[in-house]
Chain A
Amino acid sequence: MATSTSGAAWKSGDVVSDQFPAGLRVLVVDDDPTCLMILEKMLRTCLYEVTKCNRAEHALSLLRENKNGFDIVISDVHMPDMNGFKLLEHIGLEMDLPVIMMSADDGKDVVMKGVTHGACDYLIKPVRIEALKNIWQHVVRKKKNEWRELEQSGSVEEGDRSAKPSEDADYSSSANEGNWKSSKKRRDEDEEAEERDDTSTLKKPRVVWSVELHQQFVAAVNQLGIDKAVPKKILELMNVPGLTRENVASHLQKYRLYLRRLSGQHQTSMNNSFINPQEASFGAMTSLNGIDLQTLAVAGQIPAQSLATLQAAGLGRSTAKPGIPLPLVDQRNLFSFENPKLRFGEGQQQQQQHLGTSKPVNLLHGIPTSMEPKQLTSLHQSAQSLGMNMQVNTHGAQNSSLLMQMNQPQSRGQILNDTASSHVPRLPTTQTIVSTGLASGVLGRNGITNNGRGAGYNPVMQNSSMLNFPNGFPLGSASTMSGLPSQGSFQEEVTSEVKGSVSFAASYDIFNDLNQHKSNDWDIQNVGLTFDASQQSNSIPSGSLDLVHQGFSGSQRNMPVRNQSNVGKPMYSIGDIGHGNAQNTSQHLNTLLGDNSIRIKTERNTDVLADNGFFPEQFGQDDLMSALLKQQEGITPAENQFDFDGYSMDNIPV
């Protein structure tokens, strides 16, 4: 669109008609009819072609329908249906048109907000016609920059690359803080700074990597396979107008670093924390935030290996790369979680590894965990499949049901129930952690109260570690936990989830163990399968998967959960999904898994899930689940953090 011109009037090139800027195609958006009328008249007086609009949504659809139909947009800041800044971001992201903001307020912070959101100018009402006469300069400037960018695309990318490390640092810090949004802002600002520092006059239009966009990105990457994902192909798959290859390339680089970081962390933490899963993990888990997924993972004792194996086996997809255990998880964190969901991921991984140890991980403090290694294993296995499902299911009730089931460990039965009921929603969020962290998380969740949803780990521990299961667990109903014999399955789910979120699976396993339920009923297999699919980049070590599987197998038998939701089915779709809405969740899962960036925003997810009735209280692992869910949904929950208020779990297709 940069090069679109209004007829022969002018071109973004050097050719400018004599009448320029006459004929400039302006879209003006303002909900106040008086202002709109005056503005339109003024713009007509400037000889521009004016289209007026009093609703932001309408404006967006106009812009989308006529991709090259406008040169510039003028919009009011305060509008009833959509915040002007949001509109600004959408336009910048999708159409990359210059946008001028207007307001009756001239407060410095509002003006600053406009600038940081990418407005190319900010006008105070009452707008003078003189100000409007000059808006054409913004159009020319933007086009000029775009040309430059195109010309120097090669060098730009380089520049981007070099700038990445710092940005990556942002990721980690933000992840730690659990505030994606702020980190994103920081990143954006950094990007801007970097852009300015670029040698060339090249000034790339800033791309706002919204949650949705990022999910699209992750889905594309997963589809291609993390190794084979090249910017060009990713760009094609994403098919986002206005997005350039450079944008994708730089984002990909960051993503890769993120994944690497996750896996790196994962490895180390696992070893450390695994010891006394029960206590140690719990303790650690209590503070889910920022926690230590690792601890969780440890607690989960889900051997990363088994998890990985599960993944591989269950999923049948071999794209999963055990190598990157929780990149997904982390990623999620990065992008959308407030919390250190990363931890989860990491923890999960650890768990996975630990799980192999067959130490009954007593994640749940209060819950007598008599998980036996075997159970764990089976759980793992089942979890694996489950996990996969779970991930997918995060959205689907399946996971919940699974969770529920898992929760119903005999000993834990009630705990789980309790937790389930209260935590179910949370689970979804925690699911993301899927990887080992999940397992631990799951377990931890039970005993650990989620911190905010995400905390699911800790609180849940007490009553229903199960709950912590990722949202995806189709537990069916918290209350039906009793039917959750297959703890293992839960575990598996967790594990599977973890896969994508690798950690998730792990948690399940742990959970299973704790609960000593065999989620036989769970068709974790399916779950696991799906999981795999989605997890292309799951780094869940196959070893851990195995564990899950094992655990699962037991559970597979009776997974009541199955009935509840298409436990198996959705999972599969996860792999395939990626696109449908219904599949949103699954998709997200995929994304989650794929990205390993499961959003451990348990908090968010939980809410969303809960709201959607998705995960009934069952999810204790809010964090995981929400993370997963979020991902699935395209996470709107992240919204909270994002400026995009639009994000919300509501997207979760229930």
Chain B
Amino acid sequence: MESNNNSLRQQIADMRQSLFDEEMLDRHYRTVEELSDKDHPNFAEEVMTMYFRDSTKLIAIFENALENAPFNFIVLDKYLHQLKGSSASIGAKKVWEKINEMRDCLRERDIEGTRTVLQQLKKEHDNLRGRIEPYFRMLRQVGPSEIAQRPK
């Protein structure tokens, strides 16, 4: 058991580290992790869950708005701005970078370019979710607080 647990923890730690190494997450995520305490041991998970719930919706809305003219650039930028804020707050680095690229395209009224980058954004977004979800699942198995506090 112990060794299983240990290997599990190791696995989890590795998963976490790779997220940083691949720059899918940056140091701001660590800040979020550090906010966990005894009252909210799963704080990071709660935040990430909330983030994915809202960001998925927002991306869908944005994609929809980008489908047909006329395009309301102000509104489109607003969506991106909001997405940018939340993504930055949780440290979703690659997602954040794609959002910036899209905003640049929008500024130049490049709809096609925006659509292209949007697909890339969705991919990064899905990637991140695909890696974070199993990570948290495993965390729960071993006890999240321990892992979260592990220095990285």
A interface residue numbers (CB < 8 A to B): 31-35, 37-38, 41-42, 45, 76, 78, 103-105, 125-129
Contacts and interface: CB of A to CB of B under 8 A. Distances in A.
B89 interface: yes
Interface string B61-100: 0000000000000000010011011101111000000000
Given A31-B82, A104-B81, A41 B40 contact: yes
Interface in B22-56: 28, 31-32, 35, 37, 40, 43, 46-47, 50-51, 54
Given A32-B85, A34-B90, A126 B47 contact: no
Nearest to B82: A32
A38 B47 CA distance: 7
A34 B31 contact: no
A125 B96 CA distance: 12
A45 B35 contact: yes
Contacts, number: 57
Contact of B35 (A31, A34, A41, A103): A41
Nearest to A40: B35
A76 B40 CA distance: 25
Contacts of A127: 89
A155 B47 CA distance: 52
Contacts of B85: 32, 35, 76, 103-104, 125
Contacts of A45: 35, 37
A32 B86 contact: yes
Contacts of B78: 78
B41 to A, nearest CB: 13
A34 B81 contact: no
Contacts of A76: 85
30 contacts: A31-B82, A32-B54, A32-B85, A32-B86, A32-B89, A33-B54, A34-B50, A34-B54, A34-B90, A35-B85, A35-B89, A37-B46, A37-B50, A38-B35, A41-B35, A41-B40, A41-B43, A42-B35, A45-B35, A45-B37, A76-B85, A78-B78, A104-B88, A125-B88, A126-B88, A126-B89, A126-B90, A127-B89, A128-B31, A129-B31
Contacts of B50: 33-34, 37
B interface residue count range (under 10 / 10 to 19 / 20 to 34 / 35 or more): 20 to 34
A38 B90 contact: yes
Contacts of A34: 47, 50-51, 54, 86, 89-90
Contacts of B28: 126
Given A125-B89, A126-B89, A38 B84 contact: no
A31 B82 CA distance: 9
Nearest to A129: B31
B109 to A, nearest CB: 19
B150 to A, nearest CB: 19
A18 to B, nearest CB: 23
Given A35-B85, A127-B89, 12 more contacts: A31-B82, A34-B54, A34-B86, A38-B47, A41-B35, A41-B40, A42-B31, A104-B88, A105-B81, A125-B85, A126-B88, A128-B31
Contacts of B31: 42, 126, 128-129
Most buried by A among B28, B40, B86, B91: B86
A38 to B, nearest CB: 5
A82 to B, nearest CB: 14
A78 B80 CA distance: 11
Most buried by B among A105, A126, A128: A126
A127 B50 CA distance: 18
Most buried by B among A38, A45, A105, A125: A38
Contacts of B35: 38, 41-42, 45
Contacts of B47: 34, 37-38
A370 B28 CA distance: 79
B145 to A, nearest CB: 15
Contacts of B40: 41
A42 B35 CA distance: 7
Nearest to A127: B89
B54 A126 contact: no
B93 to A, nearest CB: 11
A122 to B, nearest CB: 14
B54 A78 contact: no
Shortest 4 CB-CB contacts between residues of A and residues of B: A104-B85, A34-B86, A126-B88, A126-B89
A45 B43 CA distance: 13
B91 A126 contact: yes
Nearest to B85: A104
B122 to A, nearest CB: 18
A38 B51 CA distance: 11
B32 A38 contact: yes
Contacts of B37: 45
Contact of B86 (A35, A78, A103, A105): A35
Nearest to A31: B82
A605 B47 CA distance: 48
Contacts of A37: 46-47, 50
Nearest to A38: B89
Contacts of A41: 35, 40, 43
Nearest to B36: A41
A152 to B, nearest CB: 41
A35 B85 CA distance: 7
Contacts of A33: 50, 54
Contacts of B89: 32, 34-35, 38, 125-127
Contacts of B91: 126
Contacts of B32: 38
Contacts of A126: 28, 31, 88-91
Nearest to A42: B35
Contacts of B54: 32-34
A461 to B, nearest CB: 39
B59 to A, nearest CB: 14
